[in-house]
């Protein structure tokens, strides 16, 4: 089998998982040829497990080595765009972890660099491989739902204790992570939202910072989305609720879709609510409704390895990507709009998002930070052991 020669930047939580999967043969069209991390202890830990694979302490050194034809970027969020831009300059194909970056201005620069290259550019939006969301997308595109009236996603099962926030110096700070729940836990769901329903036109949000934890970034969010076609949405997320909820509800002319607990149901109207409203003469008359369980594979799909294999296939054979890297800006724009609304108290125009204003306010947050992370002993594990 033909294989790409992949280098991975970042031997942290995500990097270790990708490496274990590759080395266990779960992506047969991928050969791991190099690993890079700026933390010597992490490189030593990797070399202790895989001494045959070269390691590098700088991205540019790995790029210059000529060992790779492609890279997977799994380092800190702020670094994704700059590392991708430099990789394109070296003629490498690029797969970035989520999020695409921290602010839209830098991600648009990355997208411009990708457009100027002839290289494959992808993003690790593995939730697009989930058969449940793929099924919902098909139903929307076929018109099974009719007009979508309201979308509500309550996703508060992201519980992260203080020990999580203290597990790395870069976590949960404006300077190093660029945000909290929105930028770390929620990029997949914000991507799914725009992938399924399109980009909202306006966003208004209430955002709490350090409500549950000793952190400076957001850990509780309530956002209201508006669309020019009349659709509205509510997005509720938090990292301080246990056990939390993950429920997506879509109210539409043809009834209501609910995705929860690995199950999708469709309370389906026999005729659309709008048609019923035109013809009904009973004061409390309701459309006839059937409760349907929508068949789908609830195993979760191929997830990360599905994205990685499609990335390799696109390089080797011109296959289709799960998610193009350029699409990372969409969910990030929604995330930035929620932050901006939370900071300013105003409704934010998503279509004409003020990239420069957001960037300037983010810089103010970074400069005015007085947060000092407490030193705590943290154990980091990967699939092959503890270090």
Residue 384: predicted pLDDT: 36
Residue 135: predicted pLDDT: 94
**Mean pLDDT, residues 99-128:** 97
Beta bridge partners of 221: 207, 237
Q: Rounded to an integer, what distance in angstroms lies between the CA atom of residue 81 and that of residue 210? A: 27
Residue 1: predicted pLDDT: 81
Q: What percent of the chain has pLDDT over 70?
A: 95
Q: Rounded to an integer, what distance in angstroms lies between the CA atom of residue 136 and that of residue 250? A: 10
Q: Rounded to an integer, what distance in angstroms lies between the CA atom of residue 262 and that of residue 23? A: 29
Q: Of 12-16, 151-155, 358-362, give the lowest mean pLDDT range.
A: 12-16
pLDDT above 90: residue 91: yes
Residue 375: predicted pLDDT: 54
- CA-to-CA dists, residue 111 to 72, 85, 87, 117, 126, angstroms: 16, 9, 13, 10, 20
pLDDT tens digits along 72-88 = 999 999 999 999 999 99
pLDDT tens digits along 132-185 = 999 999 999 999 999 999 999 999 999 999 999 998 888 899 999 999 999 999
Confidence band for 257, pLDDT divided at 50, 70 and 90: very high
Residue 298: predicted pLDDT: 64
pLDDT above 90: residue 387: no
Which is nearest to 126 in space by CA: 249, 238, 21, 46? 21
Please give the domain boundaries of the chain with CATH numbers for all domains: 4-124+302-325 (3.40.50.720), 128-299+332-344 (3.30.360.10)
pLDDT tens digits along 174-188 = 999 999 999 999 999
Q: Of 37-46, 247-256, 265-274, 288-297, give the lowest mean pLDDT range.
A: 288-297
- Sign for the CA dihedral angle at 35, 38, 42, 45 comes to positive
Residue 376: predicted pLDDT: 47
pLDDT above 50: residue 380: no
What is 11-39 written as a DSSP string? Answer: -SHHHHHHHHHHHTTSSTTEEEEEEE-S-
Confidence band for 316, pLDDT divided at 50, 70 and 90: very high
pTM of the entire predicted model: 0.93
**Mean pLDDT, residues 80-109:** 98
Q: What percent of the chain has pLDDT over 90?
A: 89
């Amino acid at each position: 089998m033909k294989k790409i020669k992949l280098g991975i930047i970042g031997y942290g939580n995500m990097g270790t998982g990708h490496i274990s999967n590759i080395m266990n043969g779960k992506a047969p069209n991928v050969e791991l040829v190099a690993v890079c991390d700026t933390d010597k202890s992490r490189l030593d830990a990797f070399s202790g497990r895989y001494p045959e694979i070269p390691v590098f302490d700088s991205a540019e050194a790995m790029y210059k080595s000529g060992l790779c034809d492609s890279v997977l970027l799994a380092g800190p969020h702020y670094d994704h765009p700059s590392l991708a831009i430099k990789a394109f300059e070296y003629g490498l194909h690029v797969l970035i972890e989520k999020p695409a970056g921290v602010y839209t201005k830098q991600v648009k620069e990355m997208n411009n660099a990708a457009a100027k290259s002839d290289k494959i550019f992808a993003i690790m939006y593995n939730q697009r491989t989930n058969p449940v969301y793929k099924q919902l997308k098909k139903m929307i595109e076929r018109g099974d739902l009719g007009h979508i009236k309201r979308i509500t996603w309550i996703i508060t099962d992201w519980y992260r204790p203080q020990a999580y926030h203290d597990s790395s110096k870069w976590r949960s700070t404006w300077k190093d992570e660029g945000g909290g729940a929105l930028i770390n836990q929620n990029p997949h769901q914000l991507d799914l939202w725009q992938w399924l329903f399109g980009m909202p036109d306006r966003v208004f949000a209430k955002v709490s910072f350090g409500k549950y934890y000793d952190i400076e970034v957001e850990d509780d969010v309530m956002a209201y989305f508006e669309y020019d076609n009349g659709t509205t949405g509510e997005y509720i997320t938090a990292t301080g609720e246990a056990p939390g909820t993950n429920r997506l509800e879509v109210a539409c002319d043809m009834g209501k879709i609910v995705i929860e607990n690995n199950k999708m149901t469709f309370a389906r109207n026999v005729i659309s609510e709008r048609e019923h409203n035109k013809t009904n003469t009973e004061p409390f008359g309701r459309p006839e409704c059937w409760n349907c369980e929508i068949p789908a594979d609830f195993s979760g799909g191929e997830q990360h390895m599905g994205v990685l294999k499609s990335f390799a296939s696109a390089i080797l054979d011109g296959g289709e990507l799960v998610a193009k890297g350029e699409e990372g800006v969409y969910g990030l724009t929604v995330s930035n709009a929620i932050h901006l609304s939370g900071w300013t108290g105003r409704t934010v125009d998503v279509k004409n998002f003020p990239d420069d204003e957001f960037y300037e306010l983010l810089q103010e947050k970074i400069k005015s930070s007085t947060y000092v992370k407490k030193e705590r002993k943290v154990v980091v594990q990967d699939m092959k052991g503890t270090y």
